[in-house]
Amino acid sequence: MKRVLLYDTTLRDGTQMEGISLSLEDKLRIAKRLDQFGIHYIEGGWPGSNPKDLAFFKDIKKAGIRRSKIVAFGSTRRAHTRVSEDANVKALLEAGTKTVTLFGKSWDFHVTEVFRTSLKENLLMIEETVAYLKSKKLEVIYDAEHFFDGFKENPEYALKTLQRAARAGAHNITLCDTNGGSLPHEIRRAILRVKRSVKTPLGIHCHNDGELGVANSIQAVGEGCLLVQGTLNGYGERCGNANLVSIIPLLQIKMNRQCLPAKRLRELTQVSHYVAEVCNMPLVTNQPFTGRSAFAHKGGVHINAMMKNSKTYEHMDPCLIGNHRRFLVSELGGKTNIMLKAKELQLHIDKESPETRKILSEIQRLEHEGYQFEAAEASFELLVQRLMGKTKKFFEVQKVAVRAENIGGANPASIAEVKVAAKGKDHFTVAEGDGPVNALDRALREALRSSYPAIDEIHLTDYKVRVVNTEAGTAAKVRVFIEFQDKEKTWTTVGVHENIIEASWKALVEALEYKLLKG
């Protein structure tokens, strides 16, 4: 099995994505998790660009990194400047890493328009900077920025830039599709030509502007590149970088290229979700391989086939990457969906039983009204329990009211009143919140706290509102999803109504009922 080295640039390129801002502690947490996962190179940032990255390189030395090589990133020397006196080069050395990645210009257009220098001077900038860093006993990876665009416009000059880096002793030359506009066949043609010009091991760095970042990276490995740069979950500027979450299993499972030990590969889904959480970016549910829907099956015909052989609608075993198969419940499915989902929730019902037909009929009715259970499995489980007559009544709501005060003023407030009966006692509470849902949540919890102290273990983590029938304008039904979490699990409930507060209340009550049901 041929080995391919993984180079992660989430902590630099990934942070250039709109909406991502990592603290120093965030960067250290991600680096430590990537090291545990087995990523070969972790690019920590550009020490010459900001104080946070300088602090990262200082603190990472004390983080106990064992498997990965920490990499400092920077540029070639500036035009007409001595390498030893260049501020960016000095910052690279001050980072104290044993590996540095240096980028230089391969596209003559960038040399003249961005660097505003001569093509000859650019070649000297590349060669002298690589040689200087090599003289400091560092492993030097040379990133040929905009290489594929430069190769299209002026292939002779683009190749000369690589030859200078190779002559200076670069350990790896990584070819960059910086604008993300190349096609796989263009990647192949360029790499075949490069291999005739330089003998230095090659790498690939692709962006996803044409949604081909992964495809181009895979093509490059097929043509002989031995190092792949990318980010976790494809984070990066504009449309993102090539997604290592897809590249890793494609290389290892589909192409038989060794990236990680098999036991580490099974951590892929966990690592993907962990990085998304630290970056505060909701993971796209249909992200290949690690998304929640990557191995989810909804159509009745599909599920029927899956019951006979999983290969019918799955290209691989999800367990290999730490994900799992899910059967969704909706009006598109049939009784098989209901039976399988109930089994997954440890509720045993027969496909042909009256209960199964009753559950299917009720789901179809509710989804016609606007409910959606595939994203609210806690509500589905409560529905099944109720229709099977197994529901335990933990509390009864007797009165609910909520009002908003000082709307449009300096200090708007929402006040909720809730009266419930629980364990033979009536409880009436009043609570103020930042909004009506927050006020209702506080009042209901306060009313139940003395009867069910476990209520204090949970907290709301997400709240989503979707309009069901947009043609009705402001009188449209809304679908509300509420996600709660405790120390062990996360669950989601759904409520639908023309009144957004009523829909939210339904979802809120079910969320607390589910917690009490599960203990």
Within 8 A by CB and 6+ apart from 223, the residues are 187, 188, 191, 192, 195
Q: DSSP letter at 77?
A: P
Residue entry with tokens 């909004």: 435
What average pLDDT does range 369-383 have in this prediction? 82
What average pLDDT does range 468-495 have in this prediction? 79
pLDDT surpasses 80 at 60: yes
Q: What is the DSSP string of 259-309?
A: -S-HHHHTTHHHHHHHHHHHTT-PPPTT-TTTSTTTTEE-SHHHHHHHHH-
Phi/psi at 234 (5° precision) = 75, 20
Q: What is the pLDDT of residues 115-136, one digit of tens each?
A: 899 999 999 999 999 999 999 9
SS3 per-residue string spanning 115-134: HCCCHHHHHHHHHHHHHHHH
464-475 burial by CB neighbour count: b if 16+ within 10 A, else e? eeeebeeeeeee
pLDDT surpasses 80 at 169: yes
Torsion angle of the four alpha carbons 437, 275, 268, 31, in this order, in degrees rounded to the nearest 10: -160
Average of per-residue pLDDT values in the chain: 90
Tell me which of 48-62, 158-172, 250-264 is least confident: 48-62
Tell me which of 69-73, 378-382, 417-421, 438-442 is least confident: 378-382
Q: Amino acid identity, residue 390?
A: K
Tell me if domain 2-260 and domain 395-451 are identical in fold: no
| pLDDT computed for residue 200 by the predictor | 98
Asked whether the beta carbons of 393 and 368 are under 8 A apart, the reply is: no
Cα–Cα dist 349/67, whole Å: 48
SS3 per-residue string spanning 299-354: CHHHHHHHHHCHHHCCCCCHHHHCCCCEECCCCCCCHHHHHHHHHHCCCCCCCCCH
Asked whether the beta carbons of 395 and 446 are under 8 A apart, the reply is: no
Cα–Cα dist 230/221, whole Å: 13
Cα–Cα dist 290/484, whole Å: 22
| pLDDT computed for residue 246 by the predictor | 98
CATH number of 395-451: 3.30.160.740
pLDDT surpasses 90 at 377: no
- pTM for the predicted model, two decimal places: 0.72
Tell me which of 212-221, 232-241, 381-390 is least confident: 381-390
At residue 388 the predicted structure's pLDDT band, cuts being 50, 70 and 90, is confident
CATH topology of domain 2-260: TIM Barrel (3.20.20)
Tell me which of 62-66, 222-226, 463-467 is least confident: 463-467
What average pLDDT does range 371-376 have in this prediction? 76
pLDDT surpasses 80 at 434: yes
What average pLDDT does range 474-494 have in this prediction? 83
Cα–Cα dist 41/7, whole Å: 5
What average pLDDT does range 303-327 have in this prediction? 84
pLDDT surpasses 70 at 353: yes
What average pLDDT does range 53-82 have in this prediction? 95
Side by side, the strands of the sheet bearing 396-405 are 396-405, 413-422, 425-433
| pLDDT computed for residue 174 by the predictor | 98
At residue 113 the predicted structure's pLDDT band, cuts being 50, 70 and 90, is very high
Taking the domains of the chain in order of start, what are their residue ranges?
2-260, 296-381, 395-451
pLDDT surpasses 70 at 187: yes
Asked whether the beta carbons of 284 and 291 are under 8 A apart, the reply is: yes
At residue 141 the predicted structure's pLDDT band, cuts being 50, 70 and 90, is very high
What average pLDDT does range 146-167 have in this prediction? 97
Residue 410 CA to chain centroid, in angstroms?
38
